[in-house]
Structure 1
């Protein structure tokens, strides 16, 4: 494939593909073939995110203006939103694409019904990113024979849509300028007077940094608190079993666990939602700022100030890593209690959602840290 030609990265879970007997991968190939037939240009299709060539191509595209010729095609199912790799791909691509003003290149395929997309997408950042795009509805088409006219026509239609989007986005990258002349959010077009400028972006992030740092401290504290409560419950159940109190004893402790967890888990949910939502909102601007610094498009004192600011961001990234082991441990330990009694499930589900939001925030911070490292500050 041409090095600078259009590329499509398929984001899906391998288990979903297994469950439909390889139809997801065959769909990727069919669309790539239809695109080449229609345009005469090969669409590079990458489908295995565990393959080194996928990773190399992904990084090369994410790190350059070649992103304007790149699609991320999430094949959306309930399992998709449970996959940390899939979530990371959406968050990373969306932020980088928005920082260049080419958000339309995130093109989800809704493969089966996902209630969260309609019910409350704002409660999950990745669900919200997918819900905000005009997805392709494949819920009925996935049941069609792959050789049927309806299926083949839909494949061609999707290839034509890719080509149409690609043609519309072959523009110079849109980045925030020092005088505030360019939008950075990749959403609805803004007037030149309303678009945020470089200094506005930096000031907003600078003001948010102490809040982010405090939020991370609070998350670490509530993680410890919830961990102590779950360890207490495990110990009490062991004592109950040794006393021969049976299932009644276990149920009583499970109900006590629910009561003790309700307040800290509610706090955890508030912190997780606040943390990830703020990072997602400012992610495109931070990435655009890093790109401008890397390309030395800013001069003199602004560059020096921005480099100092990014050193502070890097410190924040490093600080966020401290709580990662306890976060991972809590995520694992929270799975078993949810099976004990039905009254405990809503609390544990809310806890798992909050943990996921913190992990999503870490994905964004890790991308900032990687890019800052490459600047050699």
Structure 2
């Protein structure tokens, strides 16, 4: 299917749709119908992110200027934030949209209450991406009859909002412009972005290495605590002995967990900050909008970036293992719970950051064109 014209990608968890009797998918269809009724134009809505058509259209839209007529509509629920695939979709789309100056193409629907959206200092990058936008409150509407006037009016208002966005010129252009453009002398140029990336790469590599060091420290302390627990049990220490060991472990983990939180926040924030510029830079090379010298410099940096992607990819499984262990420990100890929650947040920041650099890697690979066999 080669969809031309406005398109909306429905980002949701299939389990949420099942639990709500299919209402999430029916909402997508209702909005598409209302949009066509009010504009006369079809809105292509892609709802099954496991289908070939969804994947093909997703890549085609991201890799072309058609992004300016493409919406991402995430259905926000607690399960959405726990779904790595949903997180990947919103992070990836956000970077591409921001690179074109089109941040308003993400329209979150707050479907089931997610308290983090109203918190001022959430450490979750995806929550921040959502909360910075004007999300639609569907928390009560989802309980209404789908044929009720209130529900149908809300669907129509959302369709009108999509129509308004398409008719309104973007407030700003792409994040990055060629350094040779005299009209954009005060904006970051191509070489400016390359220089920033050259500085950032060693810092990211250092962060990944430090994550490994902190991980070793946490594992060592946890294993030592497990031995102490066994010794306490052998002495007949009972639950009081176990509580003492647990409280000592909580105190001992304070410093490394704080360092882990700092590393995770820095890693995620830096990648998100320069993501739109890097995407635009790669796109400019693909469209032949840079000089040979600029392209040669960029490709040298891309080689280093590829090495970083591989190194980070190797580190992520160990961090995810740490996160799973932290989840188990948090469920069994009130003293450890805040620390374990912090660990899970830090690991999630690294995983989200990996989504960003993996997308760079995909785009860089495609600059070389299709590989042919000998």
TM-score normalised by L of structure 2? 0.92
Verify the 8 A CA contact 2:47 2:54 in the aligned structure 1.
Answer: yes
**Unmatched 5+ residue regions in structure 1?**
183-190
Describe the shift of the 1:170–1:128 C-alpha distance in structure 2 as closer, same or farther (beyond 3 A).
closer
Separation of aligned partners in 2, 1:233 and 1:59: 48
Q: What secondary structure is seen at the aligned counterpart in 1 of 2:74? A: strand
Verify the 8 A CA contact 1:9 1:72 in the aligned structure 2.
Answer: yes
Say if 2:311 is the partner of 1:319.
yes
Which residue is equivalent to 1:361? 353
| CA positional deviation for 1:171 | 10
Separation of aligned partners in 2, 1:46 and 1:239: 58
Which residue is equivalent to 2:266? 274
Describe the shift of the 1:230–1:57 C-alpha distance in structure 2 as closer, same or farther (beyond 3 A).
farther
Query: Which among 218, 225, 233 is matched to residue 226 of structure 1?
Result: 218
Say if 2:302 is the partner of 1:306.
no
* Residues 67-82 of structure 1 aligned to structure 2 (within 5 Å): 67-82=67-82
Separation of aligned partners in 2, 1:166 and 1:294: 26
| CA positional deviation for 1:227 | 2.4
RMSD: 2.3
Q: What secondary structure is seen at the aligned counterpart in 1 of 2:45? A: strand
Query: Which among 329, 353, 375 is matched to residue 367 of structure 2?
Result: 375
Moved more, 11-20 or 301-310: 11-20
Which residue is equivalent to 2:372? none
Separation of aligned partners in 2, 1:67 and 1:195: 23
Say if 2:277 is the partner of 1:285.
yes
Query: Which among 328, 331, 336 is matched to residue 323 of structure 2?
Result: 331
Verify the 8 A CA contact 1:121 1:127 in the aligned structure 2.
Answer: no
Verify the 8 A CA contact 1:69 1:170 in the aligned structure 2.
Answer: no
Which residue is equivalent to 1:195? 187
Q: What secondary structure is seen at the aligned counterpart in 2 of 1:133? A: coil
Which residue is equivalent to 1:185? none
Verify the 8 A CA contact 1:331 1:355 in the aligned structure 2.
Answer: yes
Which residue is equivalent to 1:116? 116
Separation of aligned partners in 1, 2:227 and 2:165: 57
| CA positional deviation for 1:79 | 2.2
Moved more, 344-353 or 197-206: 197-206
Q: What secondary structure is seen at the aligned counterpart in 1 of 2:10? A: strand
- Cα deviation digits, residues 66-119 of structure 1 (max 9, x gap): 211111111112222222111111110000111122111111111233221221
Moved more, 281-290 or 202-211: 202-211
Separation of aligned partners in 2, 1:170 and 1:266: 41
Which residue is equivalent to 2:161? 161
Separation of aligned partners in 2, 1:260 and 1:5: 58
| CA positional deviation for 1:253 | 2.5
- Cα deviation digits, residues 116-173 of structure 1 (max 9, x gap): 1221345221111111111111122222211111110110110111111122258997
Separation of aligned partners in 2, 1:50 and 1:228: 40
| CA positional deviation for 1:239 | 4.8
Separation of aligned partners in 2, 1:295 and 1:173: 17
Verify the 8 A CA contact 1:269 1:350 in the aligned structure 2.
Answer: yes
Describe the shift of the 1:123–1:64 C-alpha distance in structure 2 as closer, same or farther (beyond 3 A).
same
Which residue is equivalent to 2:200? 208
| CA positional deviation for 1:325 | 2.5
Say if 2:120 is the partner of 1:128.
no
| CA positional deviation for 1:242 | 5.6
Verify the 8 A CA contact 2:3 2:44 in the aligned structure 1.
Answer: no
Moved more, 63-72 or 267-276: 63-72
Describe the shift of the 1:51–1:246 C-alpha distance in structure 2 as closer, same or farther (beyond 3 A).
farther
* Residues 174-185 of structure 1 aligned to structure 2 (within 5 Å): 174=174, 176-179=176-179
Describe the shift of the 1:52–1:226 C-alpha distance in structure 2 as closer, same or farther (beyond 3 A).
farther
Query: Which among 286, 296, 314 is matched to residue 288 of structure 2?
Result: 296
Separation of aligned partners in 2, 1:260 and 1:161: 52
Verify the 8 A CA contact 1:251 1:340 in the aligned structure 2.
Answer: no
Verify the 8 A CA contact 1:178 1:198 in the aligned structure 2.
Answer: yes
**Unmatched 5+ residue regions in structure 2?**
370-374
Which residue is equivalent to 2:243? 251
Q: What secondary structure is seen at the aligned counterpart in 1 of 2:58? A: helix
Separation of aligned partners in 2, 1:29 and 1:240: 61
